[in-house]
Amino acid sequence: MYCIVLNSGNFESLDLAEFESGPSAEKYSVATQLLIGGVTGWCTGFIFQKVGKLAATTVGGGFFLLQLANYTGYIKVDWQRVEKDMKKTKEQLKIRKSNQIPTEVKSKAEEVVSFVKKNVLVTGGFFGGFSLGMAS
């Protein structure tokens, strides 16, 4: 069985039999690994979807209430101060902006790639299940 993965901007064909020596593959069959990944992915996707809707509703409702309070005169917004603070923030972001990726991010990315390669079946099942959970 073969799988195509993106590695450093290039597509690469991997023989899945080569990766069945990972920690989870030693204990479980291919079908079990896919099932475990799929079920955990679906649960994660479903919860992520529900929490995302709740967070969006909370943020949107809070924004609506603030606008309503501003419109009715309960609060006053100092728009000149907001504009001044936004300009200051933009300048700080321009100063910090660079094309270099921090070494911590690179090392974490390498860890993730290594984990995915060692557990390609579980990871594939997880992402498939996650997609289905988000669609549920």
CA distance 9 to 108: 18
Report pLDDT digits (tens) over 36-81.
889 999 999 999 999 999 999 999 999 899 889 988 988 888 889 9
Report pLDDT digits (tens) over 13-36.
656 555 544 554 567 788 888 888
What DSSP letter does each residue of 54-106 carry, written as one string?
Answer: HHHHHHHHHHHHHHHHHHHTSS---HHHHHHHHHHHHHHHHHH--SPPPHHHH
On whether the pTM is more than 0.85, the answer is: no
pLDDT band at 112 (very low <50, low <70, confident <90, very high): confident
Tokens 């069945």, residue located: 20
Q: How far apart are the first and last CA of the chain?
A: 29
> Taking the domains of the chain in order of start, what are their residue ranges?
28-135
pLDDT band at 99 (very low <50, low <70, confident <90, very high): low
14: helix, strand or coil:
strand
